[in-house]
Amino acid sequence: MTKTWLLLATLLAPLSAAAQDAANLSPAVAPSAQGDVSVTIYNDDIALVQDIRPLTLRSGQVRQDFPDVSAQIRPETVSLAVPDARIVEQNFDFDLLSPSSLMEKAVGETITLLRTNPATGAETRERARVLAVNGGVVLQIGDRIEVLRDDGLPVRAIFDHVPPSLRARPTLSVTLDSSRAGTRPATLSYLSRNLGWKADYVALLDRRSGTIDVQGWVTLTNTTGTTFTNARTLLVAGSVGSVEDDNVYRPGRPQRRPTMQAGTESATREQLGDFYLYPLPGRTTIADRQTKQVSFLDVKGAAATSGYRFVNGWLGTAEQPQSAQSIVRFSNAAQGGLGDALPAGTIRVYMRDARGQSQFTGEAAIDHTPQGSKIALATGDAFDVKVRPVVESRTRINASRWQTTMRYALTNATAAPVTVELVQGGLDWSDTRLVEQSRPGTRADAGQNVWQVPVPANGSAVVTATFDTRY
């Protein structure tokens, strides 16, 4: 079936040449019919398109076409405001002109087959009636039935006309009832899918100076089937509600998530309700099937530190030492930090090697992050810093209580001392008591106890803790 459609595409590829043989084919594709376009793009595969076009209408009912709307338009969201006119009916014509659709619409009609003899170059023409296009093209030529085959012979299909139901471009057709004749502006707005954006960050960490350089990029992707020409573009950071969310599968988040202490600073960036706005400077053309990148953040020398974290699940025990996570910590506070609210995205961290070249060291995703937050990115697993958690003993105290002793052995094979954030997870605030611990820790939340453990250069450290629990 695939080869047959490849053949069909080959047959119809020289359609412009075939048009010279047909008297009433449509003219060449016109420039964009869009007017003054504004596009607002949200994070969740939703975009608002607003297009102001001048219309010249006569009085009474009139049919008006709006070509060059998004092919992914949600027709039920269309709003059209025309002074002194009301909407009677609207239709979205998404059956677009293509080699396959042209052949499918020709079923029952007669076309011309132009065959070229590869040896002599001589051309012969035959009239053929299209009987079916079901996994291939079935034709009636005179008294015989023929199936177009992929036999290597050059064949071109020539159509007498383009069916009126096929559109060269996505088109919204509207029937208007105009109370007067004349030209006036029409404001068309609608929601569209397949026009989205995401944030990406490139961070250069300097451990010696304790600083980080961060550049933020907006990556804009258009797969709507339509180019938006010279558009004002506004990006909205935040998740807007949509009734379609219940029917859309959204993949789970990566396992290596950053920790964050949410900030309480008000960003100076413009807001729309509970969302932050990121306008693109000037007007821009968002071409179909194009990815565009625009810088929105460029900060040098923000304060940053690096360290290690190890999270152990409840009753987690290991026969072999496990790698701690490499952690990069910084903030987006106004003083000493990045100084801006951060849209959700991926932060990729680099460091310079001994030759001064930047090398990739890991990445992590962040959620929408208010200004003033403290961020800890887990960028990878440490080679030289290990932790081996062991359940040393577990004793049943009574029918509903257990006492569990954990031992954590930490090792550091680097030439510098490190501090490991050791986290015991899986606890319960109301039913867990820390009976004994070899070094002071803190209860970070209902489910975790945390120790900051210094481990000497080329050395080791041990932490023990006894928990009283109901399980």
The verdict on 85 and 112 lying in the same domain is: no
Task: Please check whether residue 36 lies inside any domain of the structure.
Answer: no
Helix, strand or coil for residue 41?
strand
The verdict on 347 and 434 lying in the same domain is: yes
User: Residue type at 297?
Assistant: L
pTM of the predicted protein model: 0.71
Strands (E), 274-357: 275-279, 284-286, 290-312, 322-331, 345-352
Output the CA angle 357-359-362, nearest 5 degrees.
160
Total number of domains constituting the chain: 3
Task: Please check whether residue 267 lies inside any domain of the structure.
Answer: yes
In this predicted structure, what is the pLDDT of residue 95?
Answer: 58
As a whole number of angstroms, the distance between CA 42 and CA 242 comes to: 11
Task: Please check whether residue 290 lies inside any domain of the structure.
Answer: no
Task: Please check whether residue 278 lies inside any domain of the structure.
Answer: no
The verdict on 337 and 457 lying in the same domain is: yes
Task: Please check whether residue 174 lies inside any domain of the structure.
Answer: yes
The verdict on 178 and 327 lying in the same domain is: no
Structure tokens at 277: 């706005």
Nearest to 422 by CA among 469, 454, 379: 454
Nearest 10 degrees: Cα torsion 378, 380, 385, 388? 80
Task: Please check whether residue 279 lies inside any domain of the structure.
Answer: no
Task: Please check whether residue 225 lies inside any domain of the structure.
Answer: no
String of DSSP letters for 376-444? EEEEEEEEEEEEEEEEEEEEE-SSS-EEEEEEEEEEE-SSS-EEEEEEE-S--TTT-EEEEESS--EEE
Beta bridge partners of 343: none
The verdict on 356 and 462 lying in the same domain is: yes
The verdict on 52 and 141 lying in the same domain is: no
Residues spanned by the domain of 365: 247-273+300-469
The verdict on 261 and 390 lying in the same domain is: yes
In this predicted structure, what is the pLDDT of residue 97?
Answer: 65
Place 38 in a pLDDT band, splitting at 50, 70 and 90. Answer: very high
As a whole number of angstroms, the distance between CA 344 and CA 368 comes to: 4
Structure tokens at 431: 């039913």
Place of tokens 């068309």: 188
The verdict on 65 and 186 lying in the same domain is: yes
The verdict on 254 and 153 lying in the same domain is: no
Nearest 10 degrees: Cα torsion 186, 189, 193, 198? 110
Q: What is the mean pLDDT of residues 323-330?
A: 96
Place 149 in a pLDDT band, splitting at 50, 70 and 90. Answer: low
The verdict on 125 and 171 lying in the same domain is: no
Task: Please check whether residue 84 lies inside any domain of the structure.
Answer: yes
As a whole number of angstroms, the distance between CA 283 and CA 320 comes to: 58
Tell me the percentage of the chain whose pLDDT exceeds 90: 56
In this predicted structure, what is the pLDDT of residue 243?
Answer: 53
121 has pLDDT over 90: no
Q: Where does residue 399 fall: left (phi above 0), alpha (psi -120 to 50 degrees), or beta otherwise?
A: alpha
Mean pLDDT taken over the chain? 85
Place of tokens 């359940």: 391
DSSP 8-state code for residue 243: G
Most confident range, picked from 9-23, 124-138, 169-183, 399-413 = 399-413
The verdict on 133 and 59 lying in the same domain is: no
As a whole number of angstroms, the distance between CA 259 and CA 367 comes to: 10
Q: Which helix (H) or strand (E) holds 6?
A: helix 2-12
The verdict on 172 and 305 lying in the same domain is: no
| Lowest-confidence segment of 65-79, 332-346, 446-460 by average pLDDT | 65-79
